[in-house]
Amino acid sequence: MGTEELTGAALLAVGSALANPHRLRILGALADGRQYVSHLARELGMSRPLLHMHLQKLQSAGLVKGSLELSEDGKAVKYFEAVPFKLEITPQIVKSALPTLPPSTDKREGTSP
Q: How far is the CB of 95 from its own copies (least distance, A)?
A: 4
Phi-psi label, residue 42: left if phi above 0, alpha if psi -120 to 50, beta otherwise? alpha
Residue 97 touches which of its own copies, DNA, none (Cβ within 5-8 Å per kind): its own copies
CA–CA distance, 45 with 67 (Å, rounded to integer): 22
CA–CA distance, 71 with 80 (Å, rounded to integer): 14
Interface residues with DNA (CB under 7 A)? 16, 19-20, 22, 36-39, 46-50, 52-54, 57, 66, 68, 73-78, 107
Residue 8 touches which of DNA, its own copies, none (Cβ within 5-8 Å per kind): its own copies
CA–CA distance, 56 with 65 (Å, rounded to integer): 9
Q: 66: which strand partners?
A: 80
- Per CB under 8 A, does 107 bind its own copies? no
CA–CA distance, 88 with 31 (Å, rounded to integer): 18
- Cβ nearer to DNA, comparing 4 with 53: 53
- Interacting residue ranges for its own copies, rule: CB under 8 A: 8, 11-12, 14-21, 24-25, 27-32, 63, 82-92, 94-95, 97-98, 101-102, 104
